[in-house]
Amino acid sequence: MDPEISAVFGLPFEEQLAFFRDKVNVPTRRWTDLWKGQHAKGFMVAGAYKAQLLDDLRAAVDKAIAAGTTLAEFRTDFDALVARHGWSYKGGRAWRSRLIYETNIRTAYMAGRWEQLQDPDVQQAYGFLEYRHGDSIVPRPQHLAWDGLVLPADDPWWQQHYPPNGWGCKCKVFAATREEHAAAAGKGAAPRVAIDARTGEPEGIDKGWGYNVGEAALTQTHGILDDVLARLAPDIAARLAAEISAKEKTGWATN
């Protein structure tokens, strides 16, 4: 994988891929057309409204997750589909391709990890979670402050602070023991949650990222997209509703 993130992701795993493949394609104009937990059930790329374009973007991301392809390889696929569809996207090529690649891989990875962390055997053996800051070149101060924080796995703090916590966030969460919780000097209790008036999110979390993607994937049905369907053209909404119905018959969880 891309050297910058290979230490985080390594080889893809079953829960990660299952999470991504359970999504349905949702045509959108803006990233905010899906909001928070809706991103756990819908695949979208802002500005990709045509069905075939969205299908091709989806296939490129699926390949990146399943085969562990590099960002450079993803960009080759990205360039080809942009040329094929004549897609005029916003932002520069390097920035936009990285954004699509990393956002989808990181959210799929962390959603899959959350499912693994909810396994009853893991819960019994550990019962706690530890927040670890990633290796961002320009780290967010709040994310650095949360590094080493050890809380019960069911602490409400994780509902808004389970990573990724924003664009480019590389933070991770690992299982921890009661002993590690006791040893987390000064970092064994949830920090005070202060809301940033500019974003409406807890401080340190980007707008729209104040949710737990793994929890949303496990607890929400595709019905979370109902209000999105209501905004789509009738023929597009009908096709999407049919796909959702098929998904709901099988489910995505692997445990």
pLDDT (tens digit per residue) in 155-183: 999 999 999 999 999 999 999 999 999 99
Instruction: List, in sequence order, the alpha helices (H) in the chain.
Output: 3-9, 14-21, 51-67, 71-85, 93-117, 120-125, 141-146, 158-161, 178-183, 213-219, 226-229, 234-250
Q: What is the mean pLDDT of residues 34-47?
A: 98
Q: Model confidence at 98, in pLDDT bands (50, 70, 90)?
A: very high
Q: What is the mean pLDDT of residues 43-60?
A: 97
DSSP string spanning 126-158? T-EEEEE----SS--HHHHHHTT-EEETT-TTH
Q: Report the distance separating Cα 180 and Cα 152, nearest Å.
A: 11
Q: Report the distance separating Cα 110 and Cα 170, nearest Å.
A: 10
The pLDDT value given to residue 138: 81
Q: How far apart are the first and last CA of the chain?
A: 27
The pLDDT value given to residue 252: 52
Residue in the structure block whose two tokens are 């290796």: 135
Greatest CA span in the chain, whole angstroms?
57
pLDDT at 10 exceeding the cut of 70 = no
Report yes or no: 42 and 48 within 8 Å, Cβ to Cβ.
Answer: no
Reference 128, options 145, 149, 107; nearest CA is: 149
* pTM for this model (two decimals): 0.91
Give SS3 for 68: coil
Q: Model confidence at 136, in pLDDT bands (50, 70, 90)?
A: confident
The pLDDT value given to residue 251: 60
Report yes or no: 107 and 113 within 8 Å, Cβ to Cβ.
Answer: no
Reference 77, options 95, 101, 51; nearest CA is: 101
The pLDDT value given to residue 13: 87
| Between residues 25 and 135, the one the model is more confident about | 25
The pLDDT value given to residue 105: 96
